[in-house]
């Protein structure tokens, strides 16, 4: 079995996205988020997503050259209009804004509209915790599972993640989950 370093894998993924039309900085954000998931043992949200992401680009679902905008609603609130950007690109922008506003206001909230697959939400909440802030991230998905007694998909897996800074010298505490028994990514992985 071949072994690939973290840096080589990130570079490969970023190269794929850049060759498909993404700006290098955006390509590196996606690569970092995917490899982070693998390194955390969340393979369902790691590099296994690369082929699906490329399908999403081909189908016009994912936009690698998004014209994102930020709409301020209040000093501590904003909406990021993502223009079908990859999740790591849209959520990266939202996170930068939230951290900056929370430093000024003590709290901040960002809503992100029209982004594609977020990846592992713990990736983003951990970054906030590393910046010294508690962070809660919620994601609404399309209906993917039935509720008890339903005949078909009627509710989303609606993942959530929470991270809080650790004490002095301690790592942040990160909790990342879907509300389903099993993630869709695990089902996709089992099917493959």
Q: State the catalytic residue, choosing from 45, 81, 117, 148.
A: 117
Extract long-range pairs of 145-151: CB within 8 Å, 24+ residues apart: 145/180
CA distances from 82 to 119, 122, 186 (A): 15, 20, 27
Report how far residue 75's alpha carbon sits from residue 86's, in angstroms, rounded to the nearest whole number: 26
Q: Is 148 marked active-site?
A: no
Pairing of strands 109-115, 77-85: parallel
SS3 for 117-150, per residue? CCCCCHHHHHHHHHCCCCEEEECCCCCCECCCCC
What residues act catalytically?
117
């Amino acid at each position: 079995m071949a072994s690939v370093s973290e840096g080589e894998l990130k570079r490969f993924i970023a190269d794929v996205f850049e060759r498909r039309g993404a700006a290098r900085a955006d390509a590196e954000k996606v690569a970092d988020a995917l490899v982070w998931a693998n390194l955390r043992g969340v393979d369902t949200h790691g590099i296994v997503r690369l082929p699906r992401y490329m399908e999403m680009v081909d189908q016009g679902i994912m936009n690698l050259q998004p014209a994102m905008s930020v709409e301020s609603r209040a000093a501590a609130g904003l909406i990021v209009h993502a223009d079908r950007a990859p999740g790591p690109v849209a959520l990266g922008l939202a996170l930068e804004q939230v951290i900056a506003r929370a430093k000024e206001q003590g709290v901040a909230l960002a809503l992100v509209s029209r982004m594609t697959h977020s990846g592992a939400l713990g990736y983003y909440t951990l970054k906030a915790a590393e910046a010294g802030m508690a962070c809660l991230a919620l994601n609404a998905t399309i209906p993917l599972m039935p509720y008890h007694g339903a005949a078909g998909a009627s509710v989303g897996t609606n993942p959530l993640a929470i991270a809080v800074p650790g004490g002095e010298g301690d790592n942040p505490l990160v909790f990342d989950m879907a509300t389903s028994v099993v993630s869709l990514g695990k089902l996709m992985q089992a099917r493959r």
